[in-house]
Amino acid sequence: MSLDSKTPSGPLAEKWTRYRGTMNLVAPNNKRRIDIIVVGSGLAGASAAATLGELGYNVKCFTFHDSPRRAHSIAAQGGINAAKNYANDGDSVYRLFYDTIKGGDYRSRESNVYRLAEVSRNIIDQAVAQGVPFARDYGGLLDNRSFGGVQVSRTFYARGQTGQQLLLGAYQALSRQIALGTVEMYNRHEMLDLVLVDGKARGIVARNLVTGKLERFAAHCVVLGTGGYGNVFYLSTNAMMCNVTAAWRAVRRGAYMANPCFTQIHPTCIPQSGEYQSKLTLMSESLRNDGRVWVPKNPEDAKAIREGRKTGNDIPEEERDYFLERRYPAFGNLVPRDVASRAAKIACDEGLGVAPTGLAVFMDFSAAIERYGKSKANAMGLHNPGAEKIRELGEAVVSEKYGNLFEMYEKITGENPYKLPMKIYPAVHYTMGGLWVDYNLETNIPGLFAIGECNFSDHGANRLGASALMQGLADGYFVLPYTIGQFLSNEIRTPKFSPDAKEFVDTANETRQRLEGLMNVKGSQSVESFHRRLGKIMWEYCGMARNAEGLEKARKMIRELRDEFYKDVFIPGSLEEYNPELEKAHRVADFLELGELMIIDALNRNESCGGHFREEYQTEEGEALRNDEEYTYVAAWEYKGWAEEPALHKEELAFENVELKTRSYK
C-alpha cells in the first residue's frame, strides 16, 4: 500500500487556508447524529474532545486516569511556541516553520509543519481567552522567552508550569462540554483494543479499571490522543502510567508506526541516584537560558567530585570546560536538545562526569546570579555593592525566574542549587515517532485519527523545546476538528453502530483472552522487574547512541525477554477488580513488542539524524551525519506478526521550500 500524505497542492503558505476553504463539511443537523470516540484527555485529546463537542458531535472521551486533568501534558514546564512576533525580533510563521524543520533534522513533512506554525498564533489567543495566566510584563502584555535551537524569543510561559495551565484550560473547556452533555466522559477506562468494521475504525474495547470488566464502545470514528511511548525505556521523564498500548493495539490492527526510533533525550534532567529509581525528573530547558553547562577539564578533579572530596565550587574558572559554549559558539548553551544531550554523554564517556555514577554534568548559575545581581543593584541605584549583596540580589532574580524548579531540584537531591552548581544528565523525554498520519491526521486505517505526541507528524527526528504543547493543542483545537470532516462527511448516512455487533464482541473476546493469558502465566517475577530489564536494554543499545551490532544484540535480548515474560510473569489479584499490576502487565507486554520495532527501525536507518545517532555515521568532529540521498523518508512499519518481519512503507519527504543543509549550531 502506498502512503499518500494527501498534502493539498498549492504554495506552502496557502495550502492550509485553501484546503480549509474547500474541504467537505458536516452540517449541524448531521453532526448531532455522528459519534466520535476520543481516547486520551491530555492537551491533544481534551482540546479535540472539547472542540468537537462545541461543534455539535456526540463525543465519548476516555482516560485511564481518575480525572482528565491528570494527563501527563500537565508536567510540561517551559512553555509553548507561537509565531506572534510580539518581541519584534524578526519572528514569523515562516521562521517558526523553518526552525522546526531544521530542528527536526529535515525528517518531517513540510506541509504539516507549516500549518503548525500558522495555527500556533491562534493557540495563544485561545488559551488567553480561556484564562491561562501566562507571564506578563508591567504593561500587562504577554512576555516571551527564548528556547533551545532558535534565535528569537517566541516562547509563551506560565512560570515553570505552562503545561499545567494549558492542560487546565483544555480540561475546563472539556468540563464545560461534559456539563452541556456533548461529551460523555469515561474516567478510569483504558483502551485495550481497536474495533474495525469493514476495515474502518468504529470503536474500542476498554477495561473499566475500577470493576475490571471489559466494555465495548461504538462510534463513527476513533481519535487517539494517547501520548508517547518514552516509558519503553522504563526510566524517563514520562509519568508512570504513560504507555503505548492504545497506539500499539492500533498497530496490531493494521495502523502503521512511523519512525519509532526517533526518541528525544532531554539534556537537563536530574541524574539517576540509585537502582530503586522509578522515574526521572526534568529540569526545564528554559534553565539553559541562564545556566552554563560544564565539566572539569581534568579527570582527576572529576574523580574527586565523584568521590565527594571536592564540589563544583572548588574548581577554578580556568579548570572548567564549558563544553557547549566551546563546541557551539553561535548557540552556546542553547543548542537543540539532541546536540546538548550528546555533548553531555561524550563528556561523561571521557570520564569527566560529576555524579557518583559518573553520569552527570554541571549546570551553573553563578555567572547569571552575578550578572543579574549587578544589574539589579544598578537599577536600585546602589553604588559599590559588596559581592554578598550582589549575590543576594542576583539569587532573588534567579528565584523569581526559576524558583519552583530550583525548589524541586533541592527536594529531590537535597542540594541547594543557588550555592552548588546543579547536576544534570540527559533522559528520555519525548518520542517524535508515532502512528503514521496523513495531512488530515488520519492513519492508514480509515476513520482512525492520531493527534499530539501519539502521531509522528511534525517534529521529524528531533523536537524543539516548547513545541510539544504547541502541536498537541494545534491538532486538537485547530486541525483535527476541520480535517475529521473529510472522513465524516462521507459517513452521514452511516447509521449508529451497535457495540453488540459481532466485530465488537469478537474483539472484546480477544482482549479477554489476552488478559487471561497474562493472568494465567502465574510465574515468579514481577511486571516491574521485566519493565526495568527492558528499559536497560533499550537505553543501552537504542538510547543516545546506537550501532548496528548493539541493535542486533538488543533485538535478540528483547525477544528472549519477551519469551521469559510470557513464561514467568506474576500478576497478583484477579481480572475483574481494581488491579494496577494487571494494568501494568498489559502495558509492559506491548512495550516488549514496540521495543523490538524501535530497534528494527533504528537498524534500518543507516544515518544519524536528530535524536537518532548511529555511531557508524558521524563526522570527524562527532556530529550527526545525515544521509539525505537514501533516507529522506518516513519509515512507516506494518506489523505482520512476530513470525514475520514488519513491512516497511516509505513516505518520501519532498522539501520544496527549504534547502536541506547540515544542521550547524556552531
Residues numbered 469-508 forming contacts with another protein, rule: CB under 8 A: 477-478, 481
Determine, following the binding rule CB under 8 A, whether residue 575 of this chain makes contact with another protein.
no
* Least distance (Å) between residue 113 CB and another protein: 21
Among 1, 25, 27, 210, binds another protein (CB under 8 A): 210
Tell me which stretch binds another protein (CB under 8 A): 30-38, 93-101, 253-261, 565-573.
565-573
Chain centre to alpha carbon of residue 74: 12
Question: Rg of the chain over CA atoms, in angstroms?
Answer: 25
* Least distance (Å) between residue 666 CB and another protein: 34
* Least distance (Å) between residue 522 CB and another protein: 9
Determine, following the binding rule CB under 8 A, whether residue 21 of this chain makes contact with another protein.
no
- DSSP β-bridge partners for residue 269: 282, 425
* Least distance (Å) between residue 280 CB and another protein: 9
Grid cell listed for 403: 524558583
Torsion of the alpha carbons at 161, 224, 558 and 3, rounded to the nearest 10: -120
Determine, following the binding rule CB under 8 A, whether residue 67 of this chain makes contact with another protein.
yes
- Say if residue 29 is exposed, middle or buried (CB neighbours under 10 Å; 0-12, 13-18, 19+): exposed
Chain positions 257 to 276 lying near another protein, rule: CB under 8 A, are 273-274, 276
Q: Binding pattern to another protein, positions 512-531, x when CB under 8 A?
A: --------------x-xx--
Grid cell listed for 446: 480509515
DSSP symbol at 461: T
Q: Which is nearer to another protein, 134 or 425 (CB)?
A: 134
* Least distance (Å) between residue 108 CB and another protein: 25
Decide the pairing of beta strands 200-208 and 183-186. unpaired
Tell me which stretch binds another protein (CB under 8 A): 89-97, 179-187, 197-205, 341-349.
179-187
Tell me which stretch binds another protein (CB under 8 A): 30-38, 279-287, 369-377, 657-665.
279-287
Q: Which is nearer to another protein, 489 or 529 (CB)?
A: 529
Determine, following the binding rule CB under 8 A, whether residue 128 of this chain makes contact with another protein.
yes
Among 279, 297, 512, 559, binds another protein (CB under 8 A): 279
* Least distance (Å) between residue 327 CB and another protein: 30
Chain positions 218 to 237 lying near another protein, rule: CB under 8 A, are 237
Torsion of the alpha carbons at 249, 252, 255 and 258, rounded to the nearest 10: 90
Q: Which is nearer to another protein, 50 or 599 (CB)?
A: 50
Determine, following the binding rule CB under 8 A, whether residue 134 of this chain makes contact with another protein.
yes
Determine, following the binding rule CB under 8 A, whether residue 618 of this chain makes contact with another protein.
no
Tell me which stretch binds another protein (CB under 8 A): 9-17, 255-263, 364-372, 574-582.
574-582
Grid cell listed for 443: 492513519
Q: Which is nearer to another protein, 131 or 386 (CB)?
A: 131
Determine, following the binding rule CB under 8 A, whether residue 117 of this chain makes contact with another protein.
no
Q: How far apart are CA 411 and CA 403, in angstroms?
A: 12
Chain positions 400 to 429 lying near another protein, rule: CB under 8 A, are 407-408, 411-412, 414
Q: How far apart are CA 389 and CA 397, in angstroms?
A: 13
Among 137, 317, 318, 659, binds another protein (CB under 8 A): 137
Q: Residue 141 carries which side chain, given as an amino acid letter?
A: L
Determine, following the binding rule CB under 8 A, whether residue 131 of this chain makes contact with another protein.
yes
CB 467 within 8 A of CB 81: yes
Q: Which is nearer to another protein, 199 or 572 (CB)?
A: 572
User: What is the 3-state secondary structure of 180-225?
Assistant: HCCEEEECCEEEEEEEEECCEEEEEEEEECCCCCEEEEECCEEEEC
Among 37, 116, 173, 544, binds another protein (CB under 8 A): 173
Determine, following the binding rule CB under 8 A, whether residue 551 of this chain makes contact with another protein.
no
CB 480 within 8 A of CB 451: yes
User: What is the 3-state secondary structure of 512-577?
Assistant: HHHHHHHHHHCCCECHHHHHHHHHHHHHHHHCCCECHHHHHHHHHHHHHHHHHHHHHECCCCCCCC
Name the active-site residue from 107, 306, 337, 626. Answer: 337
Determine, following the binding rule CB under 8 A, whether residue 68 of this chain makes contact with another protein.
yes
* Least distance (Å) between residue 383 CB and another protein: 28
Closest CA relative to residue 178, chosen from 38, 84, 273: 38
* Least distance (Å) between residue 471 CB and another protein: 16
Determine, following the binding rule CB under 8 A, whether residue 175 of this chain makes contact with another protein.
yes
Determine, following the binding rule CB under 8 A, whether residue 75 of this chain makes contact with another protein.
yes
Q: How far apart are CA 26 and CA 186, in angstroms?
A: 26
* Least distance (Å) between residue 387 CB and another protein: 30
Q: Residue 650 carries which side chain, given as an amino acid letter?
A: K
Q: Which is nearer to another protein, 349 or 407 (CB)?
A: 407
* Least distance (Å) between residue 265 CB and another protein: 18
Q: Under DSSP, is residue 264 helix (H, G, I), strand (E, B) or coil?
A: strand
Chain centre to alpha carbon of residue 602: 18
Determine, following the binding rule CB under 8 A, whether residue 84 of this chain makes contact with another protein.
yes
Decide the pairing of beta strands 292-296 and 320-321. antiparallel
Q: Residue 428 carries which side chain, given as an amino acid letter?
A: V
Q: Which is nearer to another protein, 360 or 445 (CB)?
A: 360
Q: How far apart are CA 473 and CA 43, in angstroms?
A: 6
* Residue 530 CB coordination number (10 Å): 24
Grid cell listed for 503: 466485530
* Residue 383 CB coordination number (10 Å): 6
Task: Establish whether 95 is a catalytic residue.
Answer: no
Determine, following the binding rule CB under 8 A, whether residue 164 of this chain makes contact with another protein.
yes
Determine, following the binding rule CB under 8 A, whether residue 72 of this chain makes contact with another protein.
yes
* Residue 555 CB coordination number (10 Å): 21
Grid cell listed for 163: 503545561
Binding-site size, another protein (CB under 8 A): 82
* Least distance (Å) between residue 129 CB and another protein: 4
Q: Which is nearer to another protein, 138 or 381 (CB)?
A: 138
Q: How far apart are CA 101 and CA 15, in angstroms?
A: 17
Residues marked as catalytic: 337
